[in-house]
Structure 1
Amino acid sequence: MPHVPPPKRHPYDQWSPDARALDVVGDKWTLLIVRDLAAGPRRFVELQRVLPGISTEQLRSRLNRMVADGMLTRRRYREVPPRVEYDLTERAYALMAVIGEVARWGYDWVWSAPRASERVDVGAIFRVAPGLVKPPPDLKGSVSVVVEDQEGESYVLIAEDGKVKMQESKPETTDATVTGSKDAWVAAFSPDGDLGQLQIEGDRRLATQLLEALALGTEQLARATRAA
């Protein structure tokens, strides 16, 4: 029998699976917290860094609720100063497929170049890759992606068995490396999908297929390929 979360203060009060799901994941920030923990555990301050706009109290309240709902684990380390890390449970990680579909809908219906009010964190798009990108089963390998003017921020996309995993680390070796400024990555992920400003080293086919799927969404990429 799965863990049943405690009732919310303002539930939908409908006996249907979608309403029950929205009782747990429908609050602001919840799905973005899941997205930003998909690559592994983070501390409170690390979540604050990747979630601009959320207040300290909002984040604390949301994390406490997600722990109570069985979505997160909280691990305390006996260190000085104290360290606490949050990680996804299996039920929370299962939402990455849902987040990928939401991102795909976003590409289809509401996507544009960055708005003046939006903070541009290219890593937010990389972090949705496990839910969004569905590579062909024969596409295997790892790609390091680097955002030069975001403190050399780097991520690793790993394609295997028709899935993509994402790591936030600097690996010793990968099959390909893609480097670009923040502006170059914005051009790549904007509606026109211009990858020409990025520098690709190593397995170009692997890097290009993963980036095109991430920039366009899998279905859009398939349609574009058929049209060509």
Structure 2
Amino acid sequence: MSPRRSYDQYCSTARALDAVGDRWTLLIVRELLAGPRRYTDLHADLPGVSTDVLASRLKDMERDQLATRRRLPPPGAAYVYELTPRGAELLPVIQALGAWGAPALAERRPTDAVRAHWFALPLLRALPGEGLLEVRLDEGEFHLRLGAGSGPAYGDGPAPEEPDARLALDAETCTALEEGVLTLPQALAEGRLVISGDSTLAKTLRGE
């Protein structure tokens, strides 16, 4: 394991960057906010990272008590990585960075990779209420838990149980909602967002 690099500054920002300032670390946190992930799944959803760098960052995160590695019981019997409570506290940091970087998403570059679940955290920040949502984009499906006090903030694929509401929209609408340049009523009125379901959450999101 490589020795910790430090800014050697008695400053909380510098101390935080000692732990999460390396390239790829916060994106690994973004992926682990979905819950336990296998190394191969992390590598698949972090296009561009080398196997050596990913392994090194995960070891650093274990050392800094941001993540842990454990073996799943049979029949899975695979090793997974997951965030510690301290690592999970980075959720608002990731959301704040996403909000700050959203204006840079004005145009998707031909070389840009994309995964549907990368839009989960922006929506988690932009949508009110509490409950389980299933979201469909052109790029795929994911689910997220609004108002979840603990546990995974989101997950790839359909909801593991009957969701409180289902949303259908596109990536551009997600970004506009996160930036605040588009409101939920506007997105609904313009047909850019469809919300289905009869739960309290679905009605709240529709403004009923």
TM range (shorter): 0.7 to 0.9
Q: Are the aligned partners of 1:113 and 1:190 in contact in 2 as well (CA < 8 Å)?
A: no
Q: Does 1:158 align with 2:146?
A: yes
Q: Measure the CA separation in 1 of the matches of 2:155 and 2:35.
A: 8
Q: Cα deviations across residues 169-201 of structure 1 (Å, max 9, x unaligned)? A: 433322211235xxxx12313446584244321
Q: Indicate the SS of the match to 2:107.
A: coil
1:220 counterpart residue number: none
The answer on whether the counterparts of 1:129 and 1:165 sit within 8 Å (CA) in structure 2 is no
Match of 2:174 among 189, 192, 211: 189
Letter in 2 for 1:147: L
| Local SS of the residue matching 1:117 | coil
Query: What is the alpha-carbon distance in structure 2 between the residues aligned to residue 106 and residue 99 of structure 1?
Result: 10
**Alignment-derived partner of residue 178 in structure 1:** 167
Q: TM-score, normalised by structure 1?
A: 0.70
Q: Is the 2:34–2:154 contact (alpha carbons within 8 Å) kept by the matching residues of 1?
A: yes
- One-letter code of the match for 1:154? F
* Alignment-mate amino acid for residue 172 of structure 2: A
Structure 2 residue 138 is the aligned partner of structure 1 residue 145: no
Q: Which whole-Å deviations, capped at 9, do the CAs of 1:42-72 have from their partners, x for residues lacking one?
A: 1001111221111111111111111111111
Question: How do 1:106-117 residues align onto structure 2 when only pairs under 5 Å count?
Answer: 106-107=101-102, 109-117=103-111
User: Residue 93 of structure 1 corresponds to which residue in structure 2?
Assistant: 88
Say which SS state the counterpart of residue 11 (structure 1) adopts.
Answer: coil
Equivalent AA in structure 2 for residue 199 of structure 1: V
Report the Cα distance in structure 1 between the residues aligned to 2:137 and 2:98, rounded to whole angstroms: 21
Paired AA for residue 51 in structure 2: T
Contact 1:74 1:85 in 2 (8 A): yes
Structure 1 129/60 Cα, relative in aligned 2: closer, same or farther at 3 Å? farther
Residue number in structure 2 paired with 1:103: 98
Q: In structure 2, list runs of 5 or more residues that go unmatched.
A: none
TM-score (norm 2): 0.76
% identical aligned pairs: 34
Alpha-carbon distance between aligned partners in 2 of 1:157 and 1:77, rounded to the nearest angstrom? 24
- Structure 1, unpaired ranges of 5+: 1-5, 210-228
CA deviation vs aligned residue, 1:12-63 (integer Å, no higher than 9, x gap): 1212211111010001111111111112111001111221111111111111
**SS at the partner of 2:105?**
coil
Q: Distance in 2 between matches of 1:25 and 1:144?
A: 30
Report the Cα distance in structure 1 between the residues aligned to 2:96 and 2:106, rounded to whole angstroms: 18
Q: What's the offset of the Cα at 1:79?
A: 5.3
Letter matched to residue 116 of structure 1: P
Q: Distance in 1 between matches of 2:82 and 2:174?
A: 28
| Cα RMSD, aligned residues only | 3.0
